[in-house]
Amino acid sequence: MVFGAAVPSGANPSENAFHGLRVEPARTIPPETLADAQGKAAEFPLKTDKWQLVVFGYTHCADVCPMTLHRTALLLKQLGDDGARLQPVFISIDGDRDTPETVRDFTRKFDARIVGLTGKPETLQAVANEFNVVVRRFRGQSSLAYKLEHSSFMYLLDPQGRVRLLYPASSDLAGIAQDLRMLWRSP
Amino acid sequence: MLGVQTAVGVMARRGFVVLALTATGAWADTVPEKPSDPFDYSYCGGKPVYPVIGYNFATVCGPRNQIAVGRRGQLMWLFPSADGRTMLHHGMRKLSADELNRISLLAEVTQLAASTDGAAGHVMYDLGINFSGRPNKREHAAFTADYTPANELFRTLLKLVPDAPPLPDCAEAATDFDPTLMPAQRHLDPQPMTDRHASIRR
């Protein structure tokens, strides 16, 4: 008997080429109708020829959400003119409290190019479920003072609305920028 | 409480580990505890928890092998003898935080990726992943050198096991079969694999 003879081995260059983790086969996100900063209906994934960097959060969030959006703004700066090819998207997971106005005010603190989306709780839940985002609610001192704990990944979608790369929130920005330029160079 | 029930049942049935995973409700119910570290997305009672991961894998003429990671970060493996009647290698060890972080990340991206079709292969596996509070991920696939998150996760787990699994070269060409069955049963499986794929795909 030969042990392990059938196991393919060796380093995997296709994964190592990116700093993010490749989602392979790419996952197609079915469209859902959310609300944009003006309260108008907006289909997500956005109809755009840009790549979309999607993060989930909520405007009452005190730690990971502001940090992630701040880092998103830094990424846009790092990309320079190429930043026009990337559309950052912030999706609220708190439809009970996050109105289009509060989401707009929140995202604009970091960079006006970040698109903020909110909507009905059940629609936001459906979108989050497509990304396997987990959300837990923790009671506060009043019914509106709760906190949410949630997945903090960044998801890179191609213009076809497919998730292509996954990044932990603390990923190196230069690595993300390098990944994007590599993707934009490829046919 | 979060509507989640998870059980990793290590059953002695025919000497094999049986992973039983059930989960209900992927969204938030209100819980009274304070949030933990906001970067720990797998919070559970203040202690780190990890996804439950299980692989059944085999060559078509080889025994059914199993590798699993438990909620508290234990790696377990069961490699039977060629006839499946005795245990060739088995063991358990606690993984390091770095190892678990890497595995959790690969499990995360595996869960997110679209499932691959069950193409024929020399080594086939059935994979199950359960993150606390999320739907289960199931996948039936051929293990190849190609990059998929499920292949990469499997490759990573194999490297962490000190024993080599029995994966004998078989006379058959690459084929699609159910690695959870005993070798003698694989040729008798009345359910076409294509139907089975449809049932385990998300």
Whether residue B166 lies within 8 A of chain A, CB to CB, comes out as yes
C-alpha to C-alpha distance for B119 and B180, rounded to whole angstroms: 16
- Structurally, chain B folds into a number of domains equal to 1
C-alpha to C-alpha distance for B136 and B25, rounded to whole angstroms: 11
Contacts of B51 (CB under 8 A, 6+ apart): B42, B69, B103, B104, B107, B108, B111, B129, B130, B131, B132
Which residues in A lie closer than 8 A to residue B166 (C-beta atoms)?
1, 3
Residue B42 is predicted with a pLDDT of 44
Whether residue A182 lies within 8 A of chain B, CB to CB, comes out as no
Calculate the alpha carbon distances from B64 to B61, B77, B79, B177 in Å. Answer: 10, 11, 7, 12
Name the residue facing B109 among A10, A21, A137 (closest C-beta). Answer: A21
Mean pLDDT of B87-97: 93
Residue A4 is predicted with a pLDDT of 46
Answer whether residue A82 shows pLDDT above 50.
Answer: yes
Say if CB A136 and CB A150 are below 8 A apart. Answer: yes
3 state SS of A47: coil
For A:45-74, CB contacts with B below 8 A are: 63-64
For B:5-34, CB contacts with A below 8 A are: 26-34
| Angle separating helix axes B149-160 and B97-112, nearest 10 degrees | 160
C-alpha to C-alpha distance for A179 and A17, rounded to whole angstroms: 8
Answer whether residue A118 shows pLDDT above 60.
Answer: yes
Which residues in B lie closer than 8 A to residue A136 (C-beta atoms)?
2, 28-29, 31, 35, 43, 133
Per-residue pLDDT band for A75 (boundaries 50, 70, 90) equals: very high
Interface contact A5-B167, CB threshold 8 A: yes
Could you give phi then psi for residue B138, rounded to 5 degrees? -125, 140
Of the ranges A6-20, A87-101, B182-196, the best mean pLDDT one:
A87-101
Answer whether residue A2 shows pLDDT above 60.
Answer: no
Interface contact A136-B2, CB threshold 8 A: yes
Which residues in A lie closer than 8 A to residue B169 (C-beta atoms)?
2, 5-6
Could you give phi then psi for residue A134, rounded to 5 degrees? -100, 140
Which residues in B lie closer than 8 A to residue A2 (C-beta atoms)?
167-169
- Give residue B109's Cα distance to chain centre: 14
Residue B197 is predicted with a pLDDT of 55
Say if CB A116 and CB A107 are below 8 A apart. Answer: yes
Contacts of B198 (CB under 8 A, 6+ apart): none
C-alpha to C-alpha distance for B117 and A117, rounded to whole angstroms: 34
Nearest Cα to Cα of residue A20 among B136, B39, B155, B149: B149
3 state SS of B102: helix
Answer whether residue A175 shows pLDDT above 60.
Answer: yes
Nearest Cα to Cα of residue B186 among B136, B96, B132, B126: B126
For A:65-124, CB contacts with B below 8 A are: none
Whether residue A12 lies within 8 A of chain B, CB to CB, comes out as yes
Percent pLDDT > 70 in chain A is 87
pLDDT digits (tens, 9 = 90+) for A22-55: 999 999 999 999 999 999 999 999 999 999 999 9
Question: Which of A113-122, A125-134, B145-154, B182-191 has the lowest average pLDDT?
Answer: B182-191
What does the angle CA B99 – CA B101 – CA B103 come to, to the nearest 5 degrees?
70
Query: What type of residue sits at position A10?
Result: G
Nearest Cα to Cα of residue B69 among B39, B49, B43: B49
Q: Min CA distance, A177 vs chain B (Å)?
A: 20
Domain containing B135: what range?
A: 4-200
Interface contact A152-B29, CB threshold 8 A: no
Q: CA torsion B83→B192→A26→A169, rounded to 10°?
A: -50
Query: What type of residue sits at position B55?
Result: Y
Question: Which of A178-187, B25-34, B37-46 has the lowest average pLDDT?
Answer: B37-46
3 state SS of A176: helix
Q: Name the average pLDDT for chain A.
A: 88
Interface contact A3-B165, CB threshold 8 A: yes
Q: How many CB atoms lie within 10 A of CB A11?
A: 8
Say if CB A167 and CB A177 are below 8 A apart. Answer: no
Q: What's the order of all strands across the beta sheet hosting B30-31?
A: A147-150, A135-138, B30-31
Q: Min CA distance, B29 vs chain A (Å)?
A: 6
C-alpha to C-alpha distance for B101 and B107, rounded to whole angstroms: 10
C-alpha to C-alpha distance for B73 and A29, rounded to whole angstroms: 31
Which residues in B lie closer than 8 A to residue A126 (C-beta atoms)?
none
Which residues in B lie closer than 8 A to residue A131 (C-beta atoms)?
112
Per-residue pLDDT band for A148 (boundaries 50, 70, 90) equals: confident
Best B33, B42, B103, B109 residue to mutate vs chain A (most A CBs within 10 Å): B109
Interface contact A3-B106, CB threshold 8 A: no
Name the residue facing B166 among A3, A135, A152 (closest C-beta). Answer: A3
Query: What type of residue sits at position A173?
Result: L
Percent pLDDT > 90 in chain A is 70
pTM (2 d.p.): 0.80
Best A22, A24, A133 residue to mutate vs chain B (most B CBs within 10 Å): A24
Contacts of A130 (CB under 8 A, 6+ apart): A27, A29, A30
Q: Min CA distance, B45 vs chain A (Å)?
A: 12
Say if CB B24 and CB B5 are below 8 A apart. Answer: yes
- Give the domains, in start order, of chain A with CATH numbers: 34-185 (3.40.30.10)
C-alpha to C-alpha distance for B197 and A120, rounded to whole angstroms: 34
Helix intervals (H) in chain A: 13-16, 64-79, 100-108, 121-130, 173-185
